[in-house]
Amino acid sequence: MRLLAAALLSSLLAVPAQAPPPPAPSDASWPQWLGPSRDGRSPSTGVFPASGPVRLKVAWRRPVGPGTSGLSVSGDRLVTLDSDEKGAWAVALSPRDGSVAWRVALDPGVPDEERGPGSTPVIAGGLAYALSPACQLRALDLATGKVAWHVDLKAQFGASPRQGCASSPLVEGERLFVQTGAPEDKRVAALDRATGSVAWAVKGAARANYSSPNLRGGSPSRELLINHTDTSKGEPRSGVSALRTADGELVWQYDLDKFWSFATPVPVGDDRSPAFTAYVAAPVYRDGYLYGHGGDFLRCLKASDGTTAWEERTYPGSVALVDGQIVSLSITAGLLRIVEANPQAYRERARLQVLEPGSRAETPPSVVGRRIFVRNDEEVVAVDVEG
């Protein structure tokens, strides 16, 4: 298993207008951070025309408050987190027209001193699991927003991250995995997703406050991948550790000596040597190549050795892989690009100004069928692929 963990730095919405829903597979969803498989890739096909330019059109816009929480979409709900002077909120919108279905206070009376919530809700089994900056984990009924259960990570595990809880929970089977933000013990926990009861809680390899976990392998050796941060030698350094999902036992770890990031580890290939990482949103993998933003450039790298196939100055951003195309969103320019995922050359097929330049968009795009969802600190925007 090749783990992407070390050198691509990627930092990475007005009353809605009525618009018909774009065609989409019946099972299409983007239910969590980095999509269905937590790797930035969508299984949808037939999204883009086989050749020629791609036409993009804004379907609707909906104002939201500050936050870098991703956009999780399942059925008739799009769920994200935002904030205002009263605290953090979970908000559910209609993916069809952007109308508000419900809005639930997560940290009432606790103003967010950072840039809004950073955790992305995960949707599973009719519930949306939301982690607030004040480390309050709630399971919310997807249809109504009603609280099914609530766990205080500060009281239960001693969570105390300086910038608030920002990790995005992960659901597999009947368990929910969460990096608690605890400084020394019980840094990673597995909960019963139906009740919130604790299955296990472990220390792990090192602190893991702001990154989000991933999975690799199959039963009985299924592993939870953690991008941890080691501060024992002064300057923080990232590393990747694997915990057994059954009981949290540390299986292996790999510590980096030069790099630090909050990126989610993405498993690729058949060995365990490190290749590279991103600052927040990981690169995406296709047919032996990796595509992602590094500094001011969108790059294509060969996964086996990190050599550059091509690079194009696009300024910092984040990416998703859909139907053989890279969906790229600029962090500050507000530009949405469609680029061929082809190692031969950079070929841009579409470009659209979707967000106001200057307002930071550190959230990667979410794609469901032929509709692309993006956000910044001010609004959520839905963009349709036409034709």
Tens of pLDDT, residue by residue over 329-374, are 999 999 999 999 999 999 999 999 999 999 899 999 999 999 999 9
- Give 45-70 pLDDT, tens digit per residue: 999 999 999 999 999 999 999 999 99
pLDDT at 260: 63
Give the CA distances from residue 302 to residues 1, 54, 272, 298, in Å, rounded to whole numbers and listed in that order: 15, 26, 16, 14
pLDDT at 114: 63
pLDDT at 21: 37
pLDDT at 277: 42
Least confident of 15-24, 134-143, 150-159, 330-339: 15-24
pLDDT at 266: 80
| Tokens 């609280």 belong to residue | 147
Tokens of 100: 């508000």
pLDDT at 11: 26
Half-sphere exposure for 304 (CA within 13 Å, toward CB): 2
18 exposure class (CB count in 10 Å sphere: 0-12, 13-18, 19+) = exposed
- Give 78-117 pLDDT, tens digit per residue: 999 999 988 999 999 999 999 999 999 998 877 666 679 9
- pLDDT at position 9 over 70: no
Domains along the chain with CATH numbers: 2-386 (2.140.10.10)
**What is the pTM for the complete model shown?**
0.90
257 exposure class (CB count in 10 Å sphere: 0-12, 13-18, 19+) = exposed
More confident residue, 370 or 221: 370
- Give 172-196 pLDDT, tens digit per residue: 999 999 999 888 889 999 999 999 9
Half-sphere exposure for 12 (CA within 13 Å, toward CB): 31
- Give 228-263 pLDDT, tens digit per residue: 877 666 777 778 899 999 999 999 988 876 666 777
- Give 260-303 pLDDT, tens digit per residue: 677 788 887 544 433 344 445 689 999 999 999 988 999 999 99
Give the list of residues 6+ apart from residue 218 with CB closer than 8 angstroms, or none. none
Average predicted confidence (pLDDT) for the chain = 87
Neighbours of 379 (CB within 10 A): 20
